[in-house]
Each structure stands twice: as structure tokens, then as C-alpha cells.
């Protein structure tokens, strides 16, 4: 007689995987959470050991694990912390305000025995948590008296005391941004938080106090701002006085009265800050910023004096010949990336460019040079093709450097100015004042198209001007990139793609297709340091470092993206003249 007992499905209490039978749950728990590597139940972090997973949960998701959200801790099937409220264990207590003196010290006790975990009251064998679940007691959280943990914005120091955090910043991060620290004439003071530059230390201090007050003063109470004039009202002002101030802008029987001089001055100040952010203030250049930031690195102990003078000489040599010094380049990435992708069981297809080198931001262009660095990545790939190499070698105009030489940022600025003088992208030239040399002005996708067209390399500019998926995603962008690499794979050479969005640009070196049909882009970011990129060359750390490259639809939610694709060479004079007017493809197409 057949049994009518319905089949019971189980859910993994650690990672939330559902629809498992009892045997499947046992196998999954053993493989994924005991013998294998853990997965964070709150985010997509994986490929880490259980000790690292405990450390990650306690640091990154501390706000989630609070007494107010006790019901959210159901995945940690442990006895209630109230059972142990009467016990004390001073040896395992950790004060976040005091720095650790040993690498083994952290806020998660990873080596506690069953007796020290539960103070000898309850054995772990008697608890009901799963074999792969982290013990709530091993997290060592202050669940009964939570104190907000304050983080230093410039290092990993943490403290529960605002005064201690302020003292730490003043003592440990005192640098040239202080007005009491003298500087030489003509020096550019860069903000350590957003890399904006200022002529004087008082201007920099004013910028930091205004724009970054929430970071530098985490314990300061929220201030009331007038919705009309944006004036910050003092904390001493009560609500009635604030209301009277707002009502003063709306006298009975008269139109809106605003101090036009104050408003005009504030708008001018904001406009100047915006110009400085995009390098439009004509203050500083690659060489000056390099020297300033290297001096700051010497003061901070990050660079020796001998290294400073050696890098200065290399900088002068590179600027004089126009060839990049190669201090930020990482080569031979494509073969390593393809190997890691092919060894992944979840990936069914991998398409990459033929070759590309990664160029990272350096002391001289940090904060504004991403467009130039991505142009260098694209050129490094084109130089390996005979036809494109012949076109690019003409940019040296009489000089005879090695044919594999990549132009420096200053040389790229000079070439774009030459293209403008020949009539390329007149509108873009006017927007940037027809000047790039010796400035920190940003460039984007249109300037890269102008540069390559000037060198007789044909490009396609694709504008993904609006999201095409839910939650601001761009599935059309991912499908277009996949199709582009599929079509390019039939040829003998596939260059990478230049990717631009608001405030930043990157380089697409390839695309992965996962077993469930998900498309993931492989993206090189100039903001990643050479140290980070060299992890991809090491077999032991390469699989983990692939997280730096992989970008899913959920992580690409900018309002607009532009892609530059190299599609051939310009052979005729007619095509060359037509390329002076930029034309692009809009996706989705306007109706």
C-alpha cells in the first residue's frame, strides 16, 4: 500500500537554499559548510574559510545582528543570549576602542573551546544549531548593550568614543591639509577624501569641514538646514526660532525675498568647486600632482627618500619622451583570466579580447585620469596587431621609440588637442576650452573616439542612454557586449571595449556566460592598484581576485553607459573627413 505522506522539503539554515530533501540537505551542508568553503548569508561573499566568514559577518553585518532585529537571527540556531547573561568572561571581551597588538586578536574568538564558549554550562552537542552554522556566542557581540561602532575614514581604526576617534584622526592623519603646516608657493593641496585640489590650506580646510563634515564628525548631531537659503541653523536654536527664520523668507503680502548677493555667492562657490572636481580650474597637471603626492607619501612613510628621487627622475624622462614609464602596468592578464574561468564549473562559456594590459592610476593622475588610463589599455591591445600598430606608430611624429611603446598621459593630451585643431569634435573641443595639455581635465568616450579617429582607426560609439531592465539595470548592454565578442571571435584579433559612465570609466576585457544563462562582464578598473592586479597572476590567489573583474547586472546601475568599440581602420580620405563629426548608436533606439 503506497504511502500518502507528502514529501518534505528542507531549507538550509546557513545560506537559505530551499527545496532540498533530507539527504540533499545533509549532502549540501557537509559539502558547502563543513568540508567546503562558506557563503555569507547576507551578501554574495564566498570562497572564504569559516574563520574568515565569521570575521566578515561580525564586521560587515554588525548592524543587522542587533537586539532590535533579533528575529532576523533565526539562521543562527543557538540558545538565547539571555541564558548566559549571568556568566562573565573577561578574558574573551574585546574593546573596539583599543587596537589589537597581535594578528590573532579580533572581535571574533575563532579558537574558543566548547567550554570557553558556553562557560561550561551547556555543551555544543546539546544545542540545536546545524553543523555548519556559526555559534552566536562565538560572535562575541554586545547584544544587551549595543554601542555604535565608529570607523576612521582613512584607516581601519574603530572606536565607540567620538572623542577617541577625533584624537586618532588628529594624531595619526595629520598631513599637509592642516593650515598650520606650511607649504611652498604654488603647491596644490589635494583633499584626502575626494582628491579635489586647492591652492591654499585654508581653502582645503573649508572644503573638508563643509563637504565631509559627516565623515569627520560622526558623533555630531544632525543640523537643521533652511529649505530656502540652505543656511545651517545652529544647534542652540530651538524649533520656534528655526520656524521664524523660515517664515522670514515669506513676508505676508510680498513676493519671495532672498538675499540675492548671498545666493549668487553660494552658487559661484559651488560652480568653482564643480569646475575643480572635473579639472576645469586650470590648476595643476600630471607632473605637479605626481611630485606633490609623492612628497606626501614620503611624509607618511609610504615611500623612501631614495625612491622619491628615483621616481622623480623617471617622471622627467617619461614626460620628455612622451612614453609611459610603465610603473602602473600589469601585463599577461588575458591568459590567466581565461584559465580561471575555464576551471570554474559554473561557467559554460568565456569570451575575451586577444590581449590587454592593465594601467592603474598613479600619483599624478589619481582622481581624474581614468579616461587616459583606459585609453592606454585599449592602445596596449591595438599595438599587438600589425595593422593598428602601423597607424599608432605615426603618432610619434619623427621619434623612434620601440613599436610597443604606449604614450603617456601628457602625450595623449597633446594628440587630442591636435585632433581638435584638425576639426575633430568641434563641440567637445569648445566644452573643454580647446585645451588639455598641462591640465587635470577629465576625458570621456567622445575624446577617445576623437583620438583614435585622428589616428585613422575606425570606432563605433554606442550610447545606452536609459536603463532597460528592472531596478535600473541594463540587460541590453550585457547582451550587446556578448554579441560583440561573439562576432569578433570569428576574426584573428579582438580588442577590448572602452566603458564610460558618470564620473568614471573602465575597460571590458571579456564576458562570461554562466550555467543559468547569466551574463557577467569582465571589467578592468584603473582604480585597482598593481598589487591587486598581480593577484591574478598567482594561482593561489587568482580565483579570489577574479571578484575584482566580474560585474553582474545588479552591480551596473548607472543611469547611462557609453561604449567605444574599435571596428577597423579608416582607409579613404572621405571616411577620414566624415569621422570628424561624431555619430553614435543609441540603445534603445528613439521612437
Q: Give the residue among 75, 5, 18, 66 at the shortest CA–CA distance from 42.
A: 75
pLDDT of residue 280: 55
pTM: 0.55
pLDDT, residue 55, reads 81
For 225-238, what is the mean pLDDT? Answer: 67
What string of DSSP letters covers 193-220? TT--EESSHHHHHHHHHHHTHHHH-TTS
Closest CA to 143 of 100, 84, 56, 91: 84
Give 311-359 pLDDT, tens digit per residue.
888 888 877 888 988 889 999 999 999 999 998 889 999 999 999 999 9
> Which of 332, 371, 335 is CA-nearest to residue 530?
332
Report pLDDT for 95.
40
pLDDT tens digit sequence for 508-520: 999 999 999 999 9
Provide the 3-class DSSP secondary structure of residue 263.
helix
In this prediction, residue 276 carries a pLDDT of 61
Average pLDDT over residues 537-557: 90
The answer to whether the CB of 546 falls within 8 A of the CB of 429 is: no
pLDDT at res. 116: 36
Which active-site residues does the annotation give?
A: 370, 504, 525
Residue 35: pLDDT band (50, 70, 90) is low
Crossing angle between the packed helical segments 386-393 and 370-382, to the nearest 10 degrees:
130
pLDDT value for 51: 74
Residue 523 has pLDDT above 90, yes or no: yes
Confidence of residue 40 (pLDDT cuts 50, 70, 90): confident
| Range in 76-80, 244-248, 344-348, 421-425 the model is least confident about | 76-80
- Binned at pLDDT 50, 70 and 90, residue 263 comes out as confident
End-to-end CA distance of the chain: 65
pLDDT tens, position by position, 69-96:
445 444 444 444 444 444 444 444 434 3
Q: What mean pLDDT, rounded, does the chain reach? A: 77
Residues 486-494 have a mean pLDDT of: 88
- Spatial distance between the Cα atoms of 11 and 390, rounded to a whole number of angstroms: 61
- Checking if the pLDDT of 416 tops 80, the result is yes
Pick from 133-147, 250-264, 316-330 the range whose average pLDDT is largest. Answer: 316-330
Main-chain dihedrals φ then ψ at residue 584, nearest 5 degrees:
-135, 165
Amino acid at each position: 500500500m503506497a504511502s500518502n505522506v507528502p514529501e518534505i522539503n528542507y531549507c538550509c539554515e546557513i545560506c537559505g537554499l530551499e527545496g532540498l530533501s533530507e539527504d540533499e540537505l545533509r549532502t549540501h551542508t557537509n559539502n558547502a559548510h563543513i568540508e567546503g568553503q562558506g557563503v555569507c548569508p547576507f551578501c554574495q561573499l564566498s570562497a572564504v574559510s569559516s574563520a574568515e566568514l565569521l570575521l566578515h559577518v561580525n564586521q560587515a553585518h554588525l548592524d543587522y545582528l542587533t537586539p532590535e532585529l533579533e528575529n532576523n537571527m533565526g539562521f543562527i540556531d543557538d540558545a538565547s543570549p539571555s541564558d548566559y547573561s549571568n556568566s562573565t568572561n573577561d578574558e574573551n571581551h574585546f574593546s573596539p576602542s583599543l587596537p589589537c597588538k597581535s594578528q590573532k586578536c579580533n572581535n571574533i574568538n575563532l579558537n574558543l573551546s566548547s567550554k570557553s564558549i558556553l562557560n561550561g554550562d551547556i555543551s555544543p552537542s546539546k544545542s540545536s544549531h546545524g553543523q555548519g552554522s556559526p555559534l552566536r556566542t562565538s560572535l562575541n557581540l554586545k547584544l544587551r548593550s549595543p554601542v555604535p561602532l565608529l570607523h576612521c575614514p582613512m584607516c581601519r581604526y574603530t572606536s565607540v568614543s567620538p572623542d577617541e576617534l577625533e584624537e586618532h584622526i588628529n594624531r595619526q592623519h595629520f598631513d599637509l591639509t592642516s593650515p598650520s603646516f606650511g607649504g611652498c608657493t604654488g603647491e596644490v593641496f589635494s583633499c584626502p577624501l575626494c582628491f579635489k585640489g586647492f591652492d591654499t590650506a585654508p581653502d582645503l580646510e573649508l572644503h573638508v569641514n563643509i563637504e565631509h563634515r559627516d565623515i569627520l564628525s560622526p558623533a555630531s548631531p544632525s543640523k537643521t538646514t533652511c529649505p530656502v537659503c540652505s543656511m545651517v541653523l545652529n544647534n542652540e536654536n530651538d524649533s520656534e526660532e528655526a520656524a521664524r527664520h523660515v517664515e522670514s523668507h515669506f513676508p505676508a503680502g510680498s513676493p519671495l525675498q532672498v538675499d540675492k548677493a548671498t545666493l549668487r555667492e553660494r552658487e559661484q562657490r559651488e560652480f568653482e568647486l564643480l569646475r575643480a572636481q572635473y579639472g576645469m580650474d586650470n590648476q595643476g597637471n600630471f607632473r605637479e600632482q605626481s611630485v606633490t603626492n609623492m612628497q606626501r607619501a614620503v611624509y607618511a612613510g609610504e615611500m623612501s627618500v631614495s625612491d622619491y628621487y628615483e621616481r622623480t627622475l623617471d617622471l622627467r624622462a617619461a614626460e620628455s619622451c612622451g612614453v609611459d614609464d610603465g610603473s602602473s602596468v600589469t601585463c599577461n592578464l588575458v591568459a590567466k583570466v581565461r584559465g580561471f574561468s575555464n576551471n570554474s564549473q559554473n561557467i559554460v562559456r568565456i569570451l575575451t579580447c586577444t590581449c590587454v594590459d592593465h594601467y592603474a592610476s598613479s600619483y599624478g593622475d589619481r582622481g581624474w585620469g581614468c579616461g587616459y588610463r583606459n585609453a592606454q589599455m585599449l592602445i596596449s591591445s591595438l599595438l599587438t596587431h600589425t595593422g593598428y600598430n602601423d597607424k599608432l606608430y605615426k603618432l610619434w611624429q619623427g621619434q623612434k621609440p620601440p613599436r610597443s611603446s604606449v604614450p603617456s598621459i601628457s602625450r595623449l593630451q597633446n594628440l587630442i588637442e591636435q585632433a581638435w585643431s584638425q576639426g575633430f569634435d568641434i563641440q567637445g573641443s569648445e566644452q573643454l576650452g580647446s585645451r588639455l595639455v598641462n591640465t587635470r581635465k577629465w576625458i570621456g568616450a567622445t575624446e577617445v573616439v576623437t583620438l583614435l579617429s585622428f589616428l585613422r582607426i575606425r570606432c563605433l560609439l554606442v550610447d545606452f542612454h536609459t536603463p532597460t531592465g528592472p531596478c535600473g539595470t541594463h540587460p541590453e548592454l550585457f547582451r550587446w557586449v556578448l554579441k560583440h565578442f561573439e562576432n569578433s571571435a570569428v576574426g584573428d584579433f579582438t580588442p577590448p571595449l572602452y566603458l564610460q559612465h558618470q564620473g568614471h570609466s573602465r575597460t571590458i576585457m571579456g564576458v562570461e556566460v554562466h550555467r543559468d544563462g547569466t551574463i557577467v562582464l569582465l571589467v578592468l578598473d584603473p582604480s585597482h592598484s598593481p598589487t591587486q592586479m598581480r593577484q591574478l597572476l598567482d594561482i593561489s590567489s587568482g580565483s579570489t581576485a577574479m571578484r575584482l573583474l566580474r560585474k553582474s547586472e545588479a552591480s551596473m546601475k548607472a543611469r547611462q553607459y557609453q561604449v567605444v568599440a574599435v571596428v577597423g581602420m579608416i582607409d579613404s580620405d572621405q571616411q577620414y573627413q566624415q569621422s570628424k563629426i561624431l555619430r553614435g548608436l543609441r540603445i534603445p533606439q528613439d521612437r
